[in-house]
A and B are shown apart, each in its own frame.
Chain A
Amino acid sequence: MPNGRLDTSAAPAFERDMVTATQSDSVSLLIDLRELVYVSSAGLRVILMAAKRVRAKGGRIALCGLQPQVAEVFEISGFGAIVPIHADRESALAALR
């Protein structure tokens, strides 16, 4: 669960986590972003790459708990069209099942 700022300096560590999380053959991935206060283009790209890997394996991905300013960046970038965004963890888990 990323927290604080997901910018150019934090993106490489987050990317490593995402690679690890998407290594198994079949995967459903929920990324809880409630602790995240800022996301930069580098952070968005890591999430999109993770979504691409999960989709390639036939899995599903979802995001939840986005703070308003983070949700706005997702909306502006159009990434919401690729990665489903849910208000909370429960609804996201329900959607992934």
Chain B
Amino acid sequence: MTVLLDVASFLGGLGLFFTGIRALSANMMQLGGRPLRRAVAAYGQRPAVLAVAGTATGALIQSSNGITFILVSMVRAGLLPMVTAMPLLLWANLGTSALVMVASIDLRLVTLLSLGVAGIWLFIDRKAGTTRRQLMESVLAIAMLFLGLELLRAGTAGLHDGGAVAEVLDLVGTSAPGAFVLGFVVTLFTQSSSATTIIAVTASQTGMLPFHGAALLVVGASLGSGASVVLMGASVRGSQRQLVLFQGLSKLLGAAVLVALIGLEDVTGWPLVLSWVRALAAEPGRQLAFIYLSCQLTVLMSSYGFAPWVRRLLVAVAPPLPAERLGVPQFIYDAAVGDADIALILAEKEQMRITAALPSLLEEADPATRDGIERLSEEIERFLGSVAGSGEDAAALPRSQLDHLVNLRARNEVLRLLNDAVLQLGLTREGMPPGDAADLADALTQGLAAVLMCADDAARDRDRDSIEMLRQITSDRSAVVDGIRRRLVKAANQETVYRLTSLFERAVWLVQRYAVLLDATKPD
């Protein structure tokens, strides 16, 4: 009966622990996501800010896997460049050490008090979705996590007396490769090296897990965390894949360095890792927490040390996708802002990359391409804004340059609107079943794509004929569109026909606006 109670305590503790750590991550992602994005957007260029933001995020969210995929989604949305995401991720790994360090301390009193306060608070405060409630839910999650650890500790201590479990743990603790593999495999399932380490810390505190093996279990867990990110991110491509592989590679580098150091220490007796940890803390659980911390520090330092080679390797293995390349300026650069003549030529060349991309967006309605175009037009707008500078700077520009600048900004706005209309038209067409309306959609697509190609030609040639032709083919199309609507008035999907024709009319009108703007700045 006692053994059964110990097993139940062990399993119940594991259940509470996993529920708590998952709830904590979910709550903290909601609470911390927006402030993190704001901080990174505002101060993302400063290394110290990245270090603090990354460590704090890791400490709060407690899942380097979770953080990796938050960053992947931010890179995908264009909110974060890769050069910022990589160091953030490295520092977040270090931040996950916080919970492991806290778990190595006896917190029974604080745990029970937090559980009481948070539970009663949530019972009384029923207003869902408030920040205050989310904070209390996080406190409850932390309390559940630590209560789970207490139950786990009690169950493990009970099983210790049974003999068989103690023998298994002793075997793991004295077999370095076995411990390493166990840490790796368990983390593939838990997807959290800090969770695996905290369980190992609990087992160490009961005196069942010898230190040497436990240390390698923690290193194995760190590598397992990297492997689970790579497995979970197998479907992502381009820069996002680079980030996923970066996390896996960082963990691999860190584990390789630490295993080599521990091996060298074993053979030579030089105080490299384990001796220092023993000197820092006497208590076994605390020692393991320090091993985890050293592991994350090694990941951080080795990844910074090998950063240039790692970046080159990642670009070769997972090159950016065409849509991502589209979003990166190829002509404009900050230093060119000072020479308005050159700056305007460069901005115009950059805009031509948008006009060249629009027909392909219509043929294949890929939201990633639309996002790439949107990012590029934002960069162009930011660049033109810098050329204009303050009101006084703009007034200092010669009249012709000022007109050209205003014209380019207007063109940029037209292209942004066109980008949206073209994607919407492409998406509407893709979802249509075969029939008259689908044939019409194809005709509209081919017609508009040809118009967009002519707009691109006119932007490049800038001669009177090309611009005049563009104006002619984009003249008022309401009679044609009305005719189509009348012909298909009895079609099954009238809503779609109306939407398609409206989007088409809008796109053609925008191209006409573009032609007028081109005409206003054509060479004499």
Given contacts A44-B450, A48-B450, A69-B443, contact A78 B474 (CB under 8 A): yes
B477 within 8 A of partner (CB): yes
- The answer to whether the Cβ of B366 comes within 8 Å of any Cβ in the partner chain is no
Chain B residue, CB-CB nearest to A39: B446
On chain A, the residues within 8 Å of B448 by CB distance are 41, 76-77
Q: Is the CB of A82 within 8 A of B469?
A: yes
Q: Is the CB of B447 within 8 A of A73?
A: yes
Shortest distance in angstroms between B392's beta carbon and chain A's nearest beta carbon?
44
User: By the criterion CB–CB under 8 Å, are B472 and A82 in contact?
Assistant: yes
From the candidates A69, A72, A73, A81, name the one contacting B473 in the complex (CB within 8 A).
Answer: A81
- Please, which residue of chain A has its CB at the minimum distance from the CB of B504? A76
Closest A residue by C-beta to B444: A76
A40 to B445, CA, bound (A): 9
Asked if A78 meets B446 with Cβ closer than 8 Å, knowing A45-B454, A52-B465, the reply is no
- Most chain B CB within a 10 A radius of its CB, from A55, A75, A76: A76
Interface size bracket, A side: 20 to 34
Contact of A56 with B by CB under 8 A? yes
B438 at interface, CB cutoff 8 A: no
Assess the A78–B477 pair: CB atoms within 8 A.
yes
> Closest chain A residue to B469 by CB distance?
A82
- B439 in contact (CB, < 8 A): yes
| Per-residue A-contact encoding for B444-462, CB less than 8 Å = 1, 0 else | 1111111111100000000
Flag if B466 contacts A45 (CB, 8 Å): no
Q: Does B42 contact A (CB under 8 A)?
A: no
Question: Does A79 have its Cβ within 8 Å of any Cβ on chain B?
Answer: yes
| Residues of chain A in range 25-48 having any CB-CB distance to chain B below 8 Å | 39-41, 44-45, 48
CB-CB < 8 A to B439: which residues of A? 69
Contact B443 A78 (CB under 8 A): no
Instruction: Please judge, given known A-B contacts A48-B469, A78-B472, whether A72 and B451 are in contact too, CB under 8 Å.
Output: no
Chain A residues whose C-beta falls within 8 Å of the C-beta of B474 in the assembled complex: 78
**Complex interface: chain A residues within 8 A of B473 (CB):** 48, 77-79, 81-82
Tell me which residues across on chain A come within 8 A of B480, comparing CB atoms: 75-76
Cβ of B453: which chain A residues have Cβ within 8 Å of it? 41, 45
Q: Count A-B contacts at CB 8 Å.
A: 67
Main secondary structure on A side of the interface with B: helix
Output the nearest chain A residue to B476 by Cβ-Cβ distance.
A78
Looking at B447, B465, B474, B477, which has the most chain A CB atoms within 10 Å of its CB?
Answer: B447
Closest Cβ–Cβ distance, residue B439 to chain A (whole Å): 7
Determine if B380 is an interface residue (Cβ-Cβ < 8 Å). Answer: no
Q: Are B443 and A73 interface neighbours, CB within 8 A?
A: yes
Contact with B along A46-87 (1 / 0, CB 8 A): 001001100110000000000001001101111101100000
A51 to B447, CA, bound (A): 17
Contact of B443 with A81 in the complex, beta carbons under 8 Å: no
B226 at the interface (CB under 8 A from A): no
Q: Are A41 and B450 in contact (CB under 8 A)?
A: yes
| B475-A48 in contact (CB<8A) | no
Could you tell me if A78 and B465 are in contact, using CB atoms closer than 8 angstroms?
no
A55: B residues at CB distance < 8 A: 465
Contact of B449 among A41, A48, A72 (CB under 8 A): A41
Q: Are A78 and B466 in contact (CB under 8 A)?
A: no
The reply to whether A73 and B446 contact each other, CB–CB distance below 8 Å, is yes
Residue of B nearest to A79 (CB): B473
Residues from chain A with a CB closer than 8 A to the CB of B450 are 41, 44-45, 48, 77, 79
A52: contacting residue among B359, B466, B477, B484, CB under 8 A:
B466
Beta-carbon nearest neighbor of B481 in chain A? A76
For the complex, give the distance between the alpha carbons of A39 and B445 in Å.
Answer: 11
* Residues of chain A lying within 8 A (CB to CB) of residue B443: 69, 72-73, 76
Q: Say yes or no: B446 contacts A52, CB within 8 Å.
A: no
Cβ-closest chain B residue relative to A53 = B465
Q: Establish whether residues A40 and B446, one from each chain, have CB atoms under 8 Å apart when the complex forms.
A: yes
Name A's B-contacting residues (CB within 8 A): 39-41, 44-45, 48, 51-52, 55-56, 69, 72-73, 75-79, 81-82
10 nearest A-B pairs in the assembled complex, by CB-CB distance:
A41-B449, A77-B447, A78-B473, A76-B447, A44-B450, A41-B450, A81-B472, A41-B446, A77-B450, A73-B443
Q: List 22 A-B contacts (CB under 8 A).
A: A40-B449, A41-B359, A41-B363, A41-B447, A41-B452, A41-B453, A44-B447, A44-B450, A45-B450, A45-B454, A48-B450, A48-B454, A73-B447, A76-B443, A76-B448, A76-B477, A77-B446, A77-B448, A77-B451, A78-B477, A79-B473, A82-B472
B interface residue numbers (CB < 8 A to A): 359, 363, 439, 443-454, 465-466, 469, 472-475, 477, 480, 484, 504, 508
Given contacts A44-B446, A78-B474, 11 further A-B contacts (CB under 8 A): A40-B449, A41-B359, A45-B450, A52-B465, A52-B469, A69-B439, A76-B480, A78-B477, A79-B450, A81-B475, A82-B472
